[in-house]
Amino acid sequence: MTRSLDIGPLRSLVAVADCGSFQRAAHSLHLSQGAVSQHIRRLERAVGSPLVERHGRGSRFTPEGEQLLVHGRQILSLHDETMLRFGIDAEQTIVIGSTEHAAAQLLPPLATALADTLPDYRPRFRIDRGAQLREALAAGRIDVALLLGSTDDPRAVAVGELELTWYAAPNWTRPHGPTPLVAFDDPCALRSRALETLTAHGLAAEISAEATHLAGVQAAVGAGQGVALMATLGHTPEGLTPRKDLPRPRPLAVAVWARKGLAAEITRAAAEAVTDLLSGQVPEVLLESPVVLPQGA
């Protein structure tokens, strides 16, 4: 029996990785969810191994799936390059990783900016936690990641800083004891900065509530469970109020990270676009140390 890897199913595999689910992958490819699932099963038959497995309420790639994903990107890149040499404009994508916080405010203008500077590429975004974005970047599943934290790594291009603000419920009052802190699950650059800021000013703190998603953090703060440090660029979340009676935190550096082998002009265009957006103070931007888009800081 002859086995082969077809381009269509490989595009579906890559789309599932980039979009984070079969449903979103189907939407991005203008296919039905059933068609995408069928493509994955066809690839599984071709390689003789399961590529996706159940994980909690969702799914994840198996080791074989991760391996095929890397090779699949290479095959698609070569395929599209060959088609272009024959004058056939195969669609090229640039996959950008970010946290959920940036999705609504940063990513739309970023997509517009990249469309102007990289007209031959269509941006696709991956929303995820920072740790997962780093893994995806190393595995080649995303092209660029917007990450908070150190910019000393040679792979990082510094693009600006995010100002941070304390938020609480309107009727919240500071207790006499340790400051109750609502934070994202560890590891998280915002969580670390919040704790170090309070400690540096001699204020005891304790984690009163934790959440994986931004909505969970905001809900806990709105319910009066404590204060949270957020990067909203001056746009106050609904139902919350900024607190000026806590120590002012240092801003967090933002860097653009690129996968190994990514064309320098793509990295440069993404970095310049994010730099311009941050200098313009796009509202409610919050980038994870790293993002591509579980959710949270």
Residue 143 lies in a domain: no
Tell me the percentage of the chain whose pLDDT exceeds 90.
Answer: 29
Last residue of a domain, one of 192, 220, 242: 242
Q: What is the pLDDT, as a whole number, of residue 209? A: 94
Mean pLDDT rounded to a whole number for the chain: 81
Mean pLDDT of 3-14: 89
Q: Give the chain's end-to-end CA distance (angstroms, integer).
A: 48
Work out how many domains the chain is built from and give that number: 2
Question: Which range is least confidently modeled, 33-37, 52-56, 278-282?
Answer: 278-282
Backbone torsions φ then ψ of 156, nearest 5 degrees: -100, 135
Q: Flag whether pLDDT at 123 surpasses 80.
A: no
Last residue of a domain, one of 57, 90, 123: 90
Q: How far is CA 213 from CA 100, 216, 238, 261, in A?
A: 8, 5, 16, 32
How far is residue 173's CA from residue 110's CA, in Å, rounded to a whole number? 38
Residue 25 lies in a domain: yes
**Most confident range, picked from 183-192, 213-222, 240-249:** 240-249
pTM of the entire predicted model: 0.61
Q: What CATH number is attached to the domain comprising 22? A: 1.10.10.10
Q: Flag whether pLDDT at 219 surpasses 70.
A: yes
* Predicted confidence (pLDDT) per residue in 177-186, tens digit: 899 999 988 8
Q: In the block, which residue shows the tokens 């780093």?
A: 134
Residue 214 lies in a domain: yes
**Domain of 6, in residue numbers:** 1-90
For residues 25 and 154, which has the higher predicted lDDT (pLDDT)? Answer: 25
Q: Flag whether pLDDT at 1 surpasses 90.
A: no
